[in-house]
Structure 1
Amino acid sequence: MNLIFIQYCLAQTCQKSQIFDALQKACLSCSLDCENCFNLSQQSCIGCVKNSYMSYDDVSTCQNQCQKNEVIDSEGNRCIKCKVYGCIQCTSQQICLVCDENLVLDKNKNQCNAKKGICESDLQFLNPPFESRKCTNTCQQSYQQNYSSQICEFTQQCPQIQQLSSSVMNTFVNDIAIFKENQYIAVSVAACSFAVVDKNWNIITKQTLQEINTFGFFNRQDETQIQYFLSGVYGGYLQGQRFNVMNFETLQVEFDEKNLEQQHKIKYVDDFYKLVFMTDSQASALIWYDIERKKINSIQLSINHFILLKILKRYYIQSKDVNMLFIGTFQQDFSISLIQSKKCFSDIPDNILWRTH
């Protein structure tokens, strides 16, 4: 009997936008907005019909239009959030077009700022919902103070110290580095935290990123992902246009840049000279942060999409698109001088980043 029933079920071939109901032994229609489905409810879609889009909050739900501060992605399949905080209308390339009430758009920075005069003082911050016109001297928990835009920006709430394991680092660790003798720095993106641990993985000290006034983390694929580096007693976090560096020994944030001109990515860390190399979204400049001097430097290049290598004490920057190679050396005045070479390396794999001592 069971074999006959299984054969009967397998023999059913439903049309697109239908699902087979074993109890009624019939093909039933999915919700009108579903291209296919795994249930008959509106929250059970597998793909959306034309002119319907996957919801940002629930990918199993299709909707006819995106919500406020959302936009249809470049593939035209789903709604994604406008990444510019306070923006209620943007392009799929994340260029803000309209800011929320009591905010004004700065097109040069692609940023929504509090309108002049909304707050009594330039040292106050406008809190969401922005139509309330509520200004405070500090932002509440789970919000960070953006001094450039003069608004409180929401960040994902990180666990507080007392919520973390009291004695052992038992969460997922993204990276680990030597800190002192028999002590290590462990970084956990998932827990929004770092910890100094001993060789037995016992916590000596720990800190949440929320308490060092950094950005929160986002887990969605369409959000800006956080990057980090470790070098000696220093560690840094880069998220979109914000970059900050912390001294793990003093537990002090020594550098915090909130408005880089473009989104950046960490490409390479030179532990010898204490330099952190980054690229912008156009990959047209050599950018580096000097850890010891707490300064960001850059050199514009005549090439795009380059590969960076370090061999001995020289940097080699070669274009992936044209036959051009620059050789850089670190100078006594802490700058990097570049000269163009007449020869290029050949057959360098994409994204290779390495060095030899």
Structure 2
Amino acid sequence: MATSAQEIDVDGVMVRLTSPDKPYFPELGAKGTKANMFEYYRVVSTAGPMMNSLRDRPTHLQRFPDGIDGEEIYQKRVPQKHPDYLQTCQVTFPSGRTADALKVTHPSAIVWAAQMGTVTFHPWQVRCPDVEHPDELRIDLDPQPGTGFVEARTVAVEVLKPLLDELGLVGYAKTSGGRGVHVYLRIAHEWDFIAVRRAGIALGREIERRAPDLVTTSWWKEERGQRIFIDYNQNARDRTMASPYSVRRTPIATVSTPLSWADLAGADPDDYTMATVADLVASREDPWAGMEDTVQSLQPLLDLVAADEDRGLSDMPYPPSYPKMPGEPPRVQPSKKVASNWDAEGNPVKAD
């Protein structure tokens, strides 16, 4: 591509590309420019699978306008001055504040974001206009120090998948683009964030019971050890994960890539990059193609929630930026917790 600004046709909408030769992934040389990333997103968004995952979702943008070695901007709001072809969707944060987030309705929205330096897309687990009832439960298998992708893959394939089969649930897996694995469940729009998060906690606890040496649900890093952490808080309001087909901030521009369970069992995340995934999409059937027709009830997981409550297991800590939630235990590291400083509801006791 030439170095001057251009207007690129994106499925019938003209999107402006500027500074195409700017290095975004320096280690990739001429294959790591802004133009390469722009073209990658044009191809995978117009091909269909990425749009299927992002369509109508409020989406935050992880931007690196000067490349991955430059400043990071995590953008939750669409700027007031934006192209007419963009649409927005209002979301409410845990603080009660609101924002007009990008609503992805057309490939041009994805490619515009790439022009703005977006490397990774972070969609909510809801679709506009119903932004209060998730249609996805997301399972984040996050390797802790001393573990990596092989361990996350093992937990996904050998522990999580058989459990979902037992529960009569269908999960869809992808690489995180890093060392982790993400698994999504499509669910009906019948439950709020609190219920979906509690269902995710119960699922994580059951995985931990089945593989205690491999898995932990502990929010506190000091308790995790060399295990795969199931980050249940990814199901809380305003917590997001890299979308399917998003490029990640890695030297080789790895991509968070949907895979069949069979392909995941032998996968290497470094094989899925900005340079390879577009051709992969063109040459295979979409492993998530049946997801929209697999709308599932959360009830099997809510039954696990009830069983945990019978065991005396209740809620778990929210992220520190959230207001104190009803039934939430104290947000204090176990090594620093003094029992006399907390009441039965997990609230701090004020000194006399």
Q: Please identify which structure carries the higher strand content.
A: 1
TM-score above 0.5 = no
Larger Cα-atom Rg: 1
Q: Report the TM-score when normalising by structure 1.
A: 0.31
Q: Which structure is richer in relative contact order (CA contacts within 8 A, separation 6 or more)?
A: 2
Q: Report the TM-score when normalising by structure 2.
A: 0.31
